[in-house]
Structure 1
Amino acid sequence: MRSVVGQAVSRRSLLRLSGAGAGALALPALWASGDSVAQAAVADAMEAPDLLRRGAFPIGFWWPPPPQETTVARYAEIAEAGFTFVTGGNGVQDGAANEAMLTAAAANDLAAVVIDTRISGIANYPPEQWSSVVASTLADYEHSSAFSGINIQDEPNAGMFAQIGTVTELLRDLRPDLLPYVNLFPTYANAEQLGTPTYQDYLDRYVGDVDPAFLSFDHYALFKPSGVRDDYFYNWVLVRDKALRTGLPSWVFIQACEHLAYRLPTEAELRWQINVSLAYGCKGIQYFTYWTPEPPEVFQHALISREGERTPLYDAAARINNDYLRPVGRQLLPLTSESVTHFGEAAPPMGVEIFHGDSWVSSASGSAVILGRFFDRPAQRLRWLLVANRSFDSTASTSLTLGPEVVRAYEFDISGRYLPRRLDGPPAGQVLPVTLEPGAARLFRLHGA
């Protein structure tokens, strides 16, 4: 780790200097100060892996094509569907299988996060050998331009956090451009799985023990035939809060596979999961799963069948990723989540903040929506507003009365432009009408006086 005066300091060093947000200068306070010089210094000091700062919104998945299907053509199919990176699994790990994945990914301009059992099973080595094990593992893949990260653990118990933290630090010292990848449990994991009494404790210990580069979690909320988990939004409330307090980007796995008690999502339900996540400040979307896993009595459908055929969900994901998520995600990627409020909830889910109105949006009427608001610099008189349909099975028609300080509103067009929106009503109470298809969202930029 570099902490000498005149050199860049690491994320761990910054958190130590800031007291990790406990009474001293926390990272969010620097951003909230509006001091662009201080913000630039912090940004320059943070060692961010390439996957977190390459400019494209990260879109990935779990369960790639199996080794016999790890080909340039198969990975062209992945790129065609709008994905930006791949992760090992489904037999793709170690040695030749990883080499094939890296070759196929590089040929299609995809980033790749490898699984190597030397890293995931590093506890099998004496601790004094861990540094050399990590170094030799990296050396095997450093020739590939696609090599972008290593999957350290999936859904780890808190008892593994110290080990994960050591491996993360070793990886960061040797290759700060690589993503030390870990995916966390959801809120519905039990205390034995988490290794902590509560989920909040789990997040706190993870950040404190590991010093991660990002927060990734999975939460599968869509039950058969039509239910939604009670704690789905609460999981996002907790992760968003932790991400903002620590300056970490948050990623999520969305449900994209019929399995066990979970239904096969419709295209609208894919959009809904993505837009809920974006409204809560998500900086990376991952699909569970791409290829349909075994056994068939557990997993029935995903984007690609076990036989290698595209399913209707592949086409739906390709439309969403290419025509919506990539352009809209690129807009939201550099922004900071300022607020997330729910309007029109008949029975508000656990933990959500109910919309009450403020100087940017003073009131609302009509259908239930989620309002995610973002800023670039707090002192700047600009806000981005993502209005997401609360429903995945009905159209929303909502009218937002803008605050008196808002003078203009623009709507983002997927061509990459913000187009002026005509507002109804007098200058002191201009109304922005919004109509949303099931699961859909629209992004606006509000200009203050």
Structure 2
Amino acid sequence: MRKFAGISRFPLGFWNYMDIRELDDQVLADWEEAAFSCILSPFFTLEEEDRGKLDILLRWCAEHKVNIILRDPRVSLRHTEPGSSEKMRLAADYDSLVAEAVAEFADHPQVYGFFILDEPHWNYYEAVVQAVQTVKKHSDRLLPFVNLLPAMPSTVDLLQFRHYDRYLADFAERTGAQQVCYDYYGQMMERNEESSQYYVNLNHYRNLSRQGVEFWTTLLSTPHFNYRRPSYEDMRWQVNTSLAYGAKGILYFTFYTPDNAYNSETNYRQGPIDWWGERTDTFYGIRNANRELHQRWGDLFLELQLLQVGHYPEVPAKELNTVDYNGPVKEIEILTGREPKLILSEFRHRTSGQSYAFIVNANPRDSVQVQVQLEGVLRLRRFNAYGEAYDVVNSAPYADIFQSKIWLAPGQGELMELVRTEPTEL
């Protein structure tokens, strides 16, 4: 048994709605304990008191090597009144305000970018496109962060695009964005239901990533509406299925439990930090899922290019793919398990060309034992809890195949490093 070795560069954060004047030692201790590596900043103004708190936060980020996306009031846009169809327009001095903010923070190594807007509707679209372009005009390093609405029947009218892939392509082309984020929570329905639309959304963004646009996803951590309270297995399942589709960053919604005062129709409860500022079981589920990703695989997933992803034995939705056996994995056999659901992804390291396979138990309730058969593989290595690679013994009866049995807990993912008989092309 060892102590947690610390965070990696892989972005793990949360939707943060606190005021910066609430920042104190306990808040920072919670963020550190939860193993967050990229923080969405609290709301702040440019007043002296807020700037003092912001300085404290930035020093903490530098000390702990945590990146931060700033909700700078000079850059962030604000929603109009709910239900309004009025088109958003940028302020006349928006360009100069962005230039001022960039000049102030461009040299701070932990400032990752600026928050622009969450879930822009059609009437915000042009303003958001212009805002992203403006930030990119003044900085080629700082990310203009936008979180997009997911693909759902209810969002067609909100986006005024009939085809979601066209919406993503249009946004990427017009903004020149190299990274986008979105949210979807139907995977955490009550009565242990997981909407297949969760995978449909992941697949949309996996397709976008083929055009060179990386994506982050937002996962559910606070129950509300008819979404359940996620267990540790649920958190692990959400994280690993996202990795399987090529996600390069993960945010949780949310960390602090809303008090339901903003909207009397909501029923938020028992988020990672409850109404009294205390840690709940969900806090430890997030912490453990985050630590596992940081400790076992570190920065590796940031360097992996997704080649293919498929489901076995059945696809949750017709838009998705079954496992393609054209790569090194030639067969998957279920040895033990109730309602087996697997995802198999094949990756290649962007610089070394090293091959990897990632298998996920996509059932968040039941363990499964599988046997994987590969060809063209000399050695197979897996990673222990501390991120140390070890050789797996080949159990195949023939010299020209490699065979390995794996027990997978609910939501567990296993990354396998494959030493091929022939090197893969970069």
Q: What TM-score comes out, normalization by structure 1 length?
A: 0.80
225, 229, 232: which one pairs with 2:198?
Answer: 232
1:389 aligns with 2:361: yes
CA change 1:139–1:416 in 2 (3 A) is same
1:302 aligns with 2:271: yes
- State the match for 1:215 in structure 2: 180
CA change 1:105–1:289 in 2 (3 A) is farther
Q: Gaps spanning 5+ residues in structure 2: where?
A: 1-6, 79-87, 335-339, 422-426
1:149 aligns with 2:113: yes
CA change 1:93–1:252 in 2 (3 A) is farther
Deviation string 1:379-429 (CA, Å, 9 cap, x unpaired) is: 94x3111110020000011111112x1111011224232210011111223
Is the 2:74–2:94 Cα contact (8 Å) retained in structure 1? no
Considering only aligned residues, what root-mean-square deviation do their CA atoms show, in Å? Answer: 2.5
> Structure 2 CA distance, aligned partners of 1:283 and 1:266?
23
CA change 1:124–1:158 in 2 (3 A) is closer
CA change 1:141–1:357 in 2 (3 A) is closer
**Amino acid of the structure 2 residue aligned with 1:63:** N
- State the match for 1:113 in structure 2: 69
1:348 aligns with 2:304: no
Q: What TM-score comes out, normalization by structure 2 length?
A: 0.84
- State the match for 1:357 in structure 2: 325
Residue 210 of structure 1: how far off its partner (Å): 1.5
Is the 1:398–1:434 Cα contact (8 Å) retained in structure 2? yes
Is the 2:21–2:53 Cα contact (8 Å) retained in structure 1? no
SS at match of 1:386: strand
> Structure 2 CA distance, aligned partners of 1:125 and 1:305?
37
Is the 2:8–2:294 Cα contact (8 Å) retained in structure 1? no
SS at match of 2:400: helix
> Structure 2 CA distance, aligned partners of 1:328 and 1:435?
19
Range 191-200 or range 152-161, more displaced: 152-161
Write out aligned runs for 1:246-285 (5 A).
Answer: 247-285=212-250
Is the 2:39–2:69 Cα contact (8 Å) retained in structure 1? yes
How many residue pairs get aligned? The number is: 390
**Amino acid of the structure 1 residue aligned with 2:325:** G
Residue 358 of structure 1: how far off its partner (Å): 2.4
1:419 aligns with 2:390: yes
1:372 aligns with 2:345: yes
SS at match of 2:414: strand
SS at match of 1:443: strand
- State the match for 1:287 in structure 2: 252
**Amino acid of the structure 2 residue aligned with 1:61:** F
Deviation string 1:277-330 (CA, Å, 9 cap, x unpaired) is: 000011101111111113074211211112111111111211121233454252
- State the match for 2:4 in structure 1: none
SS at match of 2:188: coil
% identical equivalent positions: 23
91, 95, 98: which one pairs with 1:131?
Answer: 95
- State the match for 2:160 in structure 1: 195
1:321 aligns with 2:274: no
> Structure 2 CA distance, aligned partners of 1:105 and 1:203?
33
Is the 1:154–1:184 Cα contact (8 Å) retained in structure 2? yes
